[in-house]
Structure 1
Amino acid sequence: MPIPEFVLALRAKVGSDPLPLPGVIAVVLDEHGRVLLVRRSDTHDWALTTGCLEPGEQPVAGAVREVHEETGLDVVADRLLSVEALDLSVAPNGDQVHWLAVGVRCRVTDGTARVNDDESIQVGWFDPAEMPPLPPHQRRCLDLALSEDPHAWAAGLTAV
C-alpha cells in the first residue's frame, strides 16, 4: 500500500521532520493458537500486521482493515493489548515518525492467508514457541495476546 494521501499532504508541509501518527499492531491467532506474520517487502523481516490509521478511523476498525489489506483474511478483534508511544523511527526515505501504536488481538473469521498487497512478500503461520525475532514492541503485543491476563498494557500504567 502506498503512503496514504493524508500523510503525503502533511509531508508536503513538514518535510521529513518528525510527524506523530497513530498506528495499529494486530496479533492474529488461528484456531490452533498459531500467530500470523507477514514478511515485509522493505526490510524482509517477519512482523505482525501493522499499519497507519486513516484520519478519524477507530483503532479496531483500522486493525481489521490492515489485516484484510495485507493478508486477505477477515478477522474480528477480541481484546485491546497495548497503547504505546514508540521511539522515533526513520523511514528509508528519511521521513521521521513518532508512532502511537495500539495493539489489538484478533481471530480469523474467514479467508486463507496470502500476500494481498505490495507491503509483504510472504505470509505465514507460526507456533508461538518458534517465532522469528520481532521488534520489542511487537513481541510485547504478542506476549500480551498469549497471556491469560485480560488487562491492556501501557507505559506508566499501574494495574489495579
Structure 2
Amino acid sequence: MSISPYVASIRARIGHEFLLLPGVTAVIRDGARFLLARHAHSGLWSLIGGGVEPGEEPADAVEREVLEETGARVRITGIVGAYGGQPMAVTYPNGDEVGYISIAYACELLDDATPDMEEIVELSWFSREEIARLPRRDWIDRVINDSDRDQ
C-alpha cells in the first residue's frame, strides 16, 4: 500500500508539507549478509520497513510491512535501535515531504521473500562490502553497523 488512509487524511489538510511519522525497519540477516530491497519510487536500495498505523504496536507494524512488501513472515529477535533526523527525511516523487522516526528490529526470515512489485521491485542479499557500493539510503549504514550489537 503506498499511502495509508490515516496519512491521506492528514495530507488532505496539509498538502505536501513536511510530516513527521513513526516508522519501523526490519534488519534481516543471514550471517554476514543483509536482505535489502530496491524501492520503485527512488530506485535506491534500503532495508525493508514502513509506517506504523494508528493503534498499531511497532512490532506488529514491522511484521506487517515485511509481509506486505515481500510476502514473507519474520520473527523479531531484538531491537537494533531508534533513528531519526535529517538522514530519515524523504521527499517523494509527488512532492510529499516526510521525516521518519524508525525503530529498527532484528528479524529472522521465516519464508521465502519476493518483491511486491508495487513498492519493492527487487530483493537481494548483500555483504557490507557490497552494500557500500550500492545506490542506497545512507542511513542504513548506521543501522547495519548497530546491528552487530545483537550478534
TM-score band, normalised by the shorter chain?
0.7 to 0.9
Instruction: Compare the two structures and name the one with the higher helix fraction.
Output: 2
User: What is the aligned partner in structure 1 of residue 22 from structure 2?
Assistant: 22
User: What is the aligned partner in structure 2 of residue 145 from structure 1?
Assistant: 147
User: What is the aligned partner in structure 2 of residue 43 from structure 1?
Assistant: 42
CA contact (8 A) 1:84 1:100 kept: yes
CA contact (8 A) 1:39 1:121 kept: yes
CA contact (8 A) 1:113 1:124 kept: no
Aligned partners of 1:89 and 1:134: how far apart in 2?
Answer: 13
Structure number with greater Rg is: 1
Aligned partner letter, 2:12: A
Aligned partner letter, 2:85: L
Aligned partners of 2:58 and 2:13: how far apart in 1?
Answer: 26
Aligned partners of 1:133 and 1:117: how far apart in 2?
Answer: 19
How far residue 22 of structure 1 moved from its aligned partner, in angstroms, is 0.5
Aligned partners of 2:104 and 2:42: how far apart in 1?
Answer: 21
User: What is the aligned partner in structure 1 of residue 3 from structure 2?
Assistant: 3
Q: Is 2:62 aligned against 1:60?
A: no
Aligned partners of 1:148 and 1:27: how far apart in 2?
Answer: 11
- In angstroms, what is the RMSD of aligned CA positions? 1.8
Pick closer, same or farther for the CA change 1:78–1:128 going to 2, 3 Å.
same
Aligned partners of 2:32 and 2:76: how far apart in 1?
Answer: 15
Gaps of 5+ in 1: 150-160
Query: Identity over aligned residues, as a percent?
Result: 32
Gaps of 5+ in 2: none
CA contact (8 A) 1:26 1:49 kept: yes
The aligned length equals 147
Q: Which moved more, 1:81-90 or 1:56-65?
A: 81-90
CA contact (8 A) 1:69 1:117 kept: no
CA contact (8 A) 2:44 2:137 kept: no
User: What is the aligned partner in structure 1 of residue 76 from structure 2?
Assistant: 77
How far residue 85 of structure 1 moved from its aligned partner, in angstroms, is 2.2
Aligned partner letter, 2:139: H
User: What is the aligned partner in structure 2 of residue 106 from structure 1?
Assistant: 107
User: What is the aligned partner in structure 1 of residue 129 from structure 2?
Assistant: 129
